[in-house]
Structure 1
Amino acid sequence: MGTALAVDDIHMTYGELRAVNGVSFTVSEGEFFGILGPNGAGKTTTLEIAEGLREPVSGSVLLLGESPWPRNMRLLPKIGVQLQASAFFEKLTAREQLQTFGALYGVKSQRVNEMLELVGLTDKASTPEAKLSGGQRQRLSIACALVHDPDIVFLDEPTAALDPQARRNLWDVLREIQARGKTIVYTTHYLDEAEILCDRVAIMDNGKILAMDTPARLVRDLDAATRVILERGSLAAADAKALPGAEEVTEDEVSLTISTHTPAPLLSALAERGTLDGLQVRTATLEDVFLNLTGREYRA
């Protein structure tokens, strides 16, 4: 695979604020690449520089082999952009919105129908945009970014403020986009989402990339303990501490948690005691990686 996006040591400041401070990464063609971090981490500014919407103070960007800044007209038909907040044309239906966006690129009506089907809005094609739900508007926004069949798509927090059902529906749309061979670069502060969708992620905070790899490798390299959770009263804390592999035991009003790096002998010992009913096993997640890197609560 070739390189769809190459970002090299970009910097961006707003007065005294260093919004982006030496960020570098590459994205391969067909890859789903996530930029993660709390609000104010520099995610959106990084994306805007990559898209050619902002000029960095220093550093360089190659988008599909060309510089996106100054505004590169040759790149526009090849990229799709969905911003954090989308403004649609007033009083137009979902189909008319897509037709209007598509007309800028000479897109035929058949393509509009395909996009409506892709994002699950065929039955809402004649509905005015103002009467669509939040999740439907987000899907329409993504369809507008895809209507001209771009090679790379930039999505800035596409699932922000959506309810769980709407988020899951959008996940299916994003998977379908990648299955069509598109490169996706997106930002989010939902770590569970990124862990499921992304091939690789970059974790940002304070304008810097703290770590970058596949979600699975980042979690594995953390070497965090596995937590075995039992219902309170099923085992005394003193007995739990004596189990093979038990490293730390904590207890609250609801449960007893045993932390271990060797869960197999611990689970075997619990099975011998007949205490597996209601047991939960929780391994490390991408959120644990983030908290380990930043050393503070994750900021939503």
Structure 2
Amino acid sequence: RPRLVFLDELTQNLDPVGRRRTWDVVRRVRDSGTTVVLVTHDVEEAERLCDRVVVLDRGRVVADGTPAAIVGSLGARATVVFSDADLDVRPLPDLPGVERVDRRGAEVRISGAGPVLAHVGAHLVAVGRPAVDLRVELPSLEDCFVELTQGVRP
């Protein structure tokens, strides 16, 4: 059994079933103790398979760490999403930690840092409009990649 394997764009052009089967093989090889160096432009693949990720931008290392650590480098950011066509969104930007409020039809998206979910939830209860379909979206490794290589926040 080799101690080190380099895999370059291993799943490029595979259908979803072939890709998942290949991921299973890579996991088994990794879990058997072999170090796997995965070269990929597929950030989802890196997030699913890698214990450590190095992000390169024009040949320069811009991040190096676990996927969770790289995602955490954005700070404790989250987007709270729910539907409420009648909610007055004007007070929302004044809540602690809120950086951005967007409304598309009935959908309300509130992005921010820190305990933004707690503040939004408390506000909704205080105004008598508890959201029934509320969800929280956390930054992905892909969001971090875009920010690190292009300076664009999700």
- Structure 1, unmatched stretches of 5+, are 1-148
**Structural RMSD (CA):** 2.3
2:24 to 158, 162, 172: 172
1:187 to 30, 34, 39: 39
1:43-122 to structure 2, matched below 5 A, reads none
Q: 1:244 to 1:212 in 2, by over 3 A?
A: closer
How far 1:239 sits from its partner (Å)? 4.4
1:1-300 to structure 2, matched below 5 A, reads 149-223=1-75, 225-231=77-83, 233=85, 235-253=87-105, 255-261=107-113, 262-263=115-116, 264-271=118-125, 273-295=128-150
Query: Which amino acid is the alignment partner of residue 280 of structure 1?
Result: R
Counterparts of 2:42 and 2:101, CA distance in 1: 29
Counterparts of 1:278 and 1:150, CA distance in 2: 49
SS for the counterpart of 1:238 is coil
SS for the counterpart of 1:233 is coil
How far 1:205 sits from its partner (Å)? 2.1
Counterparts of 2:59 and 2:94, CA distance in 1: 45
How far 1:215 sits from its partner (Å)? 1.0
TM-score by length of 2: 0.82
Query: Which amino acid is the alignment partner of residue 295 of structure 1?
Result: Q
Query: Which amino acid is the alignment partner of residue 17 of structure 2?
Result: Q
TM-score by length of 1: 0.45
- Structure 2, unmatched stretches of 5+, are none
How far 1:242 sits from its partner (Å)? 4.9
Counterparts of 1:161 and 1:296, CA distance in 2: 29
Maintained 8 Å contact 1:231/1:255? yes
Counterparts of 2:86 and 2:130, CA distance in 1: 6
Counterparts of 1:165 and 1:296, CA distance in 2: 34
1:213-236 superposed Cα distances (whole Å, 9 cap, x missing partner)? 111111112216310112251633
1:37-73 superposed Cα distances (whole Å, 9 cap, x missing partner)? xxxxxxxxxxxxxxxxxxxxxxxxxxxxxxxxxxxxx
Counterparts of 1:197 and 1:234, CA distance in 2: 43
Q: 1:160 to 1:151 in 2, by over 3 A?
A: same
How far 1:244 sits from its partner (Å)? 5.0
Greater shift, 161-170 or 150-159, is seen at: 161-170
Paired-residue identity, %:
38
Query: Which amino acid is the alignment partner of residue 285 of structure 1?
Result: S
Counterparts of 2:2 and 2:106, CA distance in 1: 51
Maintained 8 Å contact 2:80/2:110? yes
Maintained 8 Å contact 1:232/1:251? no
Paired residues in the alignment total 149
Counterparts of 2:107 and 2:13, CA distance in 1: 31
